[in-house]
Amino acid sequence: MTDPLPTGATIGILGGGQLGRMLSVAAARLGFKTHIYEPGANPPAADVAHACTTAAYDDTAALTAFAQSVDVITYEFENIPTEALDILEAIKPIHPNREALRISQDRLTEKDFLTGLGLNTAPYADIPDADALDAALVTIGTPSILKTRRFGYDGKGQARLKSDADAAQAITDMAGAPALLEGFVDFTIEVSVIAARSASGDVACYDPGENVHRDGILHTTTVPASLPASARTDAVLLAARILNALDYVGVMGVELFVTPTGLIVNEIAPRVHNSGHWTQNGCAVDQFEQHIRAVAGWPLGDGQRHSDVVMENLIGHDMDRVPELAAAPDTALHLYGKAETKPGRKMGHVNRITR
Amino acid sequence: MTDPLPTGATIGILGGGQLGRMLSVAAARLGFKTHIYEPGANPPAADVAHACTTAAYDDTAALTAFAQSVDVITYEFENIPTEALDILEAIKPIHPNREALRISQDRLTEKDFLTGLGLNTAPYADIPDADALDAALVTIGTPSILKTRRFGYDGKGQARLKSDADAAQAITDMAGAPALLEGFVDFTIEVSVIAARSASGDVACYDPGENVHRDGILHTTTVPASLPASARTDAVLLAARILNALDYVGVMGVELFVTPTGLIVNEIAPRVHNSGHWTQNGCAVDQFEQHIRAVAGWPLGDGQRHSDVVMENLIGHDMDRVPELAAAPDTALHLYGKAETKPGRKMGHVNRITR
């Protein structure tokens, strides 16, 4: 491993959304500068960054100049084109590593990796075409979900199958993209473990948070989750196994289904995660700073929970509630400064300290 | 009062030091953009600001362009030249208001204002020249401190008098500047009240913090302070009286001496204050956000203390301790990203959560 980055060094962040924005603030808290790389105009992260490059992921000159201007590179989303990563990695280190990206960019590869580690996932099958779906429905059955293997988020690129009769429409919904069929998991709750691993191999996990989704988008995360202590330990050990297997450096979000027979891994995200936003008001060191510490080769900070928190996402016109939320007790508001409010768009979140 | 600023609006901040930096982060958290105005190169605040103007306070064109680009103006320090304020205020509102600045820019005016409110201060006398000092030493005596009326901070522009024999040297130290003699106060502890007042006149105070200085610079602030409940109430009421008298909008730092016979106001600062940094890890809404909320016409947030905190300043080569502090439990590190470490320079602070 390399020496820790000195304060004043520059951390390059691929992606200028709210995660990049909060990573940038955390980096500044440790005395780092940040440089954002983002194709879209006026990215939220640019408001709190030292520098911002507005360029596409196929712009070799811009990628090269960006990599040369920073000391280390990280990212706020996993769907970065491989060619861009090749250019960047030839110039500066990228954390979390390429293997973590490769695995999490493809749902099938991810499931194979997880089951290869001995972890449980939903039953799944590779669905390259309609025939494969017919065959998979025999073993996996319905209800089940057909998902594109790549580029899905917040419920996009997914089709639910209530019965075999939905198969044709589901295939149409995939629009020719390689897909994966996932069987139904009868879970009691969904929890996330936000896990961090430092360059020296230390692993620290935040308390699992309990997630509730609405319309396929995370609605609330509540800590502590309603989990028995044994399941809490299992969740943390499981997350640590994933990070260690990948020689991972940074923060990862691990979504788990809690079932009567044990924990099932839903998905992993090689980055800070929406379900970890509660840490901003529940811990001395939040997930964003923990990620920056890892990427910078620093020791992990203290992520012990000092307060119970309910995080609620503000989606689209939830922004109309801001005046009321701003005046509410025990409430910390976090807005992303997005110019336009759109239905389904994550505009901010609120952390309520409940104890 | 005017309407609350909508998210996306721009807050202008005079001064680009660590206070401007932390104000800028707080503004971003509420979805505001910030524009920093700072004469010095590479100001710490610029790393987390939407825009930064590097120009002097006598640059009329730059001041005008700055004021035109923002929706409201605030500041991180009180010694802003009057002429600059005149130019700015003709274009955009300034909070806290000019009266608060006028009073706090001059120690004599400030003492007269405070005693005029019926509050207790150290005994003091206007010292325009050496004869006035001789006369004042008869009534006030020694030990006492001669201070320049304007432009002092962190113990600069001050001369201690142990006996009348120190008078000549003290006058020389003032270098001809108008001065004030302050009598000795036999206090048990010094506390700060960080008080906020909204545009609609609501006042909220953080729990008083107990300050320890070293070499004339704040060393630690501890909350809760070792104060009886009645003194805590007195401190808060007293701070509220000051803010209300000034029709103040924003956060003010009020330094108090605790004596066996009651509270004595040491000084007031019309801005966020070093002794309020603990609020970043002790409260849902910290002093920086509280200030931004007030300046933006928003309701004040919840500043109730959820954790006990000891804040310690990192001065000069305290930066050598960062690797150790980064790995310490219950510890939140806040570094200012200053390029150069100098003796006596505030480089960062650390908030230790003690309970």
The pLDDT of residue A156 is above 80 = no
Closest residue by Cα to residue A286 from A266, A267, A310, A306: A306
Q: Name the CATH superfamily for A123-183.
A: ATP-grasp fold, A domain (3.30.1490.20)
Strands A33-38 and A10-14: parallel
Residue A270 preceded by cis peptide, ω within 30: no
Between chains, do B50 and A49 touch, taking CB under 8 Å as contact?
Answer: no
- Does residue A305 sit at the B interface (CB-CB below 8 Å)? no
- What whole-number distance in Å separates Cα of residue B332 and Cα of residue B337? 15
B305 touches chain A (CB under 8 A): no
Mean pLDDT, residues B179-199: 96
DSSP-derived letter for residue B143 is S
Q: Which of A182, A206, A187 is nearest to A258 (CA)?
A: A187
Architecture of domain B10-94: 3-Layer(aba) Sandwich (3.40)
Token pair for residue A54? 């507005």
Of how many residues is chain A composed?
Answer: 355
Give the C-alpha distances (Å, rounded to integers) separating A299 from A236, A243, B319: 19, 16, 16
More confident residue, A339 or B58: B58
Q: From residue A319, how far is each of A155, A322, A339, B7 by CA, in Å?
A: 21, 5, 12, 10
Smallest CA–CA distance from A339 into chain B, residue: B8
Best residue of A280, A302, A305 to probe chain B, by most B CBs closer than 10 Å: A302
pLDDT at A155: 60
pLDDT at B157: 81
- For strand B217-223 and strand B209-214, is the pairing parallel, antiparallel, or unpaired? antiparallel
Among chain A residues, CA nearest to B284: A332
C-alpha A287: how far from chain center: 11
Q: Is B153's pLDDT higher than 80?
A: no
* Pairing between β-strand B124-127 and β-strand B144-148 as defined by DSSP bridges: unpaired
Compute the distance between CA of residue A176 and CA of residue B229 in angstroms, rounded to an integer: 70
Element spanning B170, H or E: helix B167-173
Q: Which residues of B touch A25 (CB under 8 A)?
A: 25, 28-29, 48
Contact check, Cβ <8 Å, B298/A326 = yes
Q: Is the pLDDT of residue A227 over 80?
A: yes
Indicate the helix (H) or strand (E) that contains B78: none
A288 close to B (CB below 8 A): no
Confidence (pLDDT) at B150: 87
**Which of B126, B157, B239 shows the shortest CA–CA distance to B193?**
B239
Asked if A323 has any chain B CB less than 8 Å from its own CB, the reply is: yes
| Chain segment A292-301, per-residue pLDDT in tens | 999 999 999 9
CB A326 within 8 A of CB A318: no
Going by the annotation, the residues of the binding site of B for ATP are: 107, 147, 152-158, 182-185, 190, 213, 266-267
Tell me the average pLDDT across B41-66: 97
Using the beta-carbon criterion (under 8 Å), do A330 and B32 form an inter-chain contact?
Answer: no
A124 touches chain B (CB under 8 A): no
The three-class DSSP label of residue A272 is coil
Q: Where in the sequence of chain A do the CATH 3.40.50.20 domains occur? A: 10-94
Residues ≥6 apart with Cβ < 8 Å to B172: none
Residues forming CATH 3.30.1490.20 domain(s) in chain A:
123-183
Alpha carbon separation from A67 to A11, A24, A93, A328, B353 (Å, rounded): 10, 17, 9, 43, 37
Residue range(s) occupied by CATH 3.30.470.20 in chain B: 189-353
CA distance A212 to chain B (A): 23
Nearest-Cα distance to chain B for A254, in Å, is 25
CA neighbours closer than 13 Å in the CB half-sphere of residue A44: 30
A343 reaches B (C-beta below 8 A): no
Confidence band for B324, pLDDT divided at 50, 70 and 90:
very high
Phi/psi of residue A60, nearest 5 degrees: -60, -40
- Give this complex's ipTM: 0.91
CATH 3.20.20.140 fits A189-353, yes or no: no
C-alpha angle B173-B174-B179 in degrees, rounded to nearest 5: 140
> Bigger pLDDT: A232 or B156?
A232
Residue-level pLDDT at A59: 98
Put simply, the answer to whether A4 touches B48 (Cβ < 8 Å) is no
The answer, yes or no, to whether residue B318 has pLDDT greater than 90, is yes
Question: What mean pLDDT comes out for the span A86-102?
Answer: 96
